[in-house]
Each structure stands twice: as C-alpha cells, then as structure tokens.
Amino acid sequence: MAHTKSYFDRSGNDFGGVPFRSRKAFFDTIATKITKKETKRDEFVIFAPKCHRLKTTDFRVKGVLGNIEKGKVAWQTPSNIALVKYWGKKEPQLPENTSISFTLNNCHTTTEMVFEKKKTEGDFSFEIVFEGEKNEAFKPKIQKFFERIQAYVPFLKEYHFTIFSKNSFPHSSGIASSASGMSALAMCLMSIEKLLSPEISEDYFYKKASFLARLGSGSACRSVKGSLVVWGVHKDIAGSSDLYGVDFNEEIAPVFKNYQDTILLVDKGEKQVSSTVGHNLMFEHAYAQNRFVQAGENISKIKTFLKEGAVKDFIALVESEALTLHAMMLTSHPYFILMKPNTLEIIQRIWDYRTTNDSNVCFTLDAGANVHLLYPENEKEEVQRFIEKELAAFCQNKHFIHDHVGQGAQEITAI
Ligand code: DP6
C-alpha cells in the first residue's frame, strides 16, 4: 500500500497503523468509532510519516527457503525498564499507547535453540530445558507463541526444537522474564530464518525479531535493541510502529547515556495479576482514553528532556508515569494494589534522600512491588551506598541487583 498520508490524533496514535487516503475516510471510520462523544475534529492533525514503516504482510516469508537438516543458534537478550509505560493493548498484541524503555544490561536471558528436521511436518515439536532441567511449565506459553507467529515463520513445524534457556537474574525474583525470554526466542528464530534465507537485510532481521517478540509479550519487542527503544506509532518518533520497537534515534544528552538502574526486590513472589489481565482491564476503564493521550504527550516531553539533559524534568515524568500505571490498577474493575508497604517506604526514603542530598535518583515501577532506582552514573557511589545502608532492609532477603543501560541482544556461540 502506498504510504502517502496517515491521520493521527494529538498523541500521535494512528489507531493501529492504518493509513487513510483522505481526512474524510479517517473521520468516517476510526475517529468516530473511538471518540464519538468527546472529540472535536480540530483535535486531529495530519501527519506525513518521514520513514517507511514495515507492514504486517512484509513479515511473511516470500521467497523459497533453503534446506538445512540441523543446527543450533544462541542469543543473549536483556530485560528492559519502561520510562513511559505500555498499559493497554488490542488484538493482535498492539499497544494502545506509545512506550519508551531503557534496555538493561545485566538482567538477561540466554537461549540456545537446537533444531533438527522432522520426518513429517505434523504439529509443533519442542522441548525446554530451563536452567539445566527439563521444564514442562513453560510449554503452554511457548506453544501459544508458536501458534501466534507461525504465519511468519513457515519452518516452525518442519523442525524439532530443543530450547536451552537460563536467566541471569534469580528465578522468582519478581523480575519479569517474559521480555528477555520472548526476545531471546525471537532472535533465535530469526537466526534460523537467516540461515535458510541469507539475503535478508540486517534492518529486516532486527525489525522482524522485534515483531515476533511482540507477539510473545508486548514489552519484549523493546528488548532487541538498545539503549532506548520506542514501541508504538508516534508523530515525534521517526519510523515508529505499533508492530515493532525502534531505536530512539534522537539526540541523547551524555547524562542519559549510561544511566544506572538498581532493582530492589521487594517481593519475589509470582505476579498477583498477569500483565494480560491488567492490560485487558483498560478496556472498560473510566480513565483509559485520557491515559493514552497523556502517554503520547509524555513521549514528546521525554524526547526533549533526553536531548536537553533535563534530569529534574525527566525525574518528574518518570515517577509520575510509574504512579499513573499503578493508579490505573487502583481504579480498574476489579481494582488491585500491587505495591507493598515496603514499596511505599522505599519511595518515601528516595524522596527524602533526594531532597537532603540534592540527588538525581528517582524510581520507577513495573506491574509489581519491586522498585527500580534510576540514577546518573556520576552519582553511582553515593546512591549505591544509600541503597546498601537504607533501602536493602526493605528488600526480601536484602536482595537487590545493580544494572545499567545496555545495547540490546547479542549473538553468542552457545549457552
Ligand atoms: C507494566 O509486556 O508483560 O511492564 O504484552 O501481556 O505480555 P503482555 O504484557 P507485558 O506488559 C508490561 C507492562 C509494564 C510496562 C511496560 O513495560 O511498558
């Protein structure tokens, strides 16, 4: 489809990447459907995308694939921490709003995929060895992932896969492993595709890896590249897409180039509410539409803050995003509280420390009780002393993990 003009709302959302041929077509279809009551026509702007975006059909394998009997591929892929949060999605795993994250470095998954041609195609055939032991519990998730991506990975049923995987962070630490886990699988599958179809470009390789990872877990599409990745169409981010994450290819002030993230493990238990359930609660949510608009505005703001090195503004935005995410949970039906008393205790102490020491440390949260402390590298020593002295006591078994911004997935020879 020729990409002439697309129509976007104020936050840059194009409602699923559908380009409209005319302003009238846009209002007749999408705008009226989504914002029937409140939207005034002048709230919409016309935006001509600067970059060519790949469409879903671009990810279908077109040519004939080569024939390889067996082999193995391996990748190490990181976790990521969102600054502007993804919360709310629609089928097929498309975000309701744009999000941006720092790619992490030390928290990662390593996965090796050994593949061998089957005699007959049949159904998917795979086994998982997680941290040295055969694992049945992960099978349904991977089966579902394979089902979702099979239209784009035509060789999936032709091979038997043995998947060896391990995480650098402790099992049941409350750190979401789906982002690093799903992106590792996606990278491995793309390496196999590359073996079968060596002519694919590097750009296509990474975009499709992110596209596949997204179908496994939304935030996983931001774990392929580094150091800052944007997922979701946005008018201020060239080339941005709902289908895959893109590098934040804008100017970044030196202070944000090697940002530190210490994860305080407040609650290592299983997630109380799965992300999918949480996302779905945004459907009937009273504040959902305002939240999606706000996230779009926050992307524009954070782009400026990152460029100008405006650390104080960055802090205010990032903390507000974290609290807004939890406010969405507090005000959904059913409602839930994922913070623990120690989460609040830590937040209060961060605020006190920041004021007393004129520090630039701030916090963000995922959909759980753990706290991510973000701070510039030049404050590393003081902040880490503060964590050890004052905050470790509020972590389960005094457990925390020091991490920092990383560069994305890395191919390795074996796990
Ligand atoms: C709160 O990516 O885990 O971490 O797409 O259902 O797998 P699924 O959800 P997931 O949601 C993560 C949400 C978040 C915020 C974020 O990472 O942007």
CATH number at residue 350: 3.30.70.890
Considering the domain architecture, whether residues 202 and 277 belong to the same structural domain is answered as: no
Q: What pLDDT is stored for residue 172 in this prediction? A: 66
- The answer to the question of residue 242 being in a domain is yes
Question: pLDDT category, 63, cuts 50, 70, 90?
Answer: confident
Together in a domain, 231 and 273: no
pLDDT of 179-216, one tens digit each? 999 999 999 999 999 999 999 999 999 999 999 999 99
Q: Do the domain assignments include residue 22?
A: yes
* Residues 237 and 260 occupy one common structural domain: no
- Looking at the structure, tell me whether residues 76 and 221 fall in a common domain: yes
CA atoms within 13 A on the CB side of 242: 21
- 81 CA from centroid of ligand 1 (Å): 10
Average per-residue pLDDT for the chain: 89
Confidence category of residue 171, pLDDT binned at 50, 70, 90: confident
As a whole number, mean pLDDT of residues 353-360 equals 98
156 within domain boundaries: yes
Say if residue 167 is in the same domain as residue 267.
Answer: no
Residues 83 and 190 reside in one and the same domain: yes
394 and 266 in contact (C-beta within 8 Å)?
yes
Q: State which of 178, 219, 242 you would mutate to test the pocket of ligand 1, scoring each by most atoms of that ligand within 8 A of its C-beta.
A: 219
Domain membership flag for residue 410: no
Residue 378 has a pLDDT of 98
Write down the pLDDT at residue 35: 40
Coil/strand/helix, residue 117: strand
The answer on 241 and 256 residing in a single domain is no
365 lies in a domain? yes
Domain-terminating residue out of 246, 268, 301? 246
The answer to whether residues 129 and 158 belong to one domain is yes
Contacts 24+ apart (CB under 8 A), 63-66: 63/197, 63/199, 65/154, 65/155, 65/193, 65/196, 65/197, 66/195, 66/196, 66/197, 66/198
- Position in ligand 1 atom list of the atom nearest CA 80: 17
- 326: confidence class by pLDDT, cuts 50, 70, 90: very high
Q: Is 82 in the pocket of ligand 1 (CB under 6 A)?
A: yes
**280 and 228 both lie in a single domain:** no
What range defines the domain where residue 339 resides?
252-404
The pLDDT assigned to 40 comes to: 41
Q: What is the DSSP letter of 271?
A: P
- At 29 the pLDDT is 45
Is the shortest distance between the CB of 321 and ligand 1 below 6 Å?
no
My answer on whether 161 and 284 are in the same domain is no
Residue 66 has a CB neighbour count (10 Å cut-off) of 10
Classify residue 57: in a domain, yes or no: no
Query: For the ranges 22-26, 88-92, 254-258, 262-266, which has the lowest average pLDDT?
Result: 22-26
Name, of 72-81, 116-125, 169-178, the range with top average pLDDT. Answer: 72-81
296 with 218, same domain: the answer is no
- Is residue 62 situated within a structural domain? no
- Are 240 and 299 in a shared domain? no
Pairing, β 260-264 against β 371-375: antiparallel
Which of 207, 229, 246 corresponds to the end of one domain? 246
How many separate domains does the chain show?
3
Name the band, by pLDDT with cuts 50, 70 and 90, for residue 4.
Answer: very low
Ligand 1 and 183: CB distance under 6 A: no
**Domain end marker among 215, 246, 277:** 246
CATH number at residue 220: 3.30.230.10
List the residue whose alpha carbon is closest to atom 5 of ligand 1: 218
Task: Note whether residue 60 is domain-resident.
Answer: no
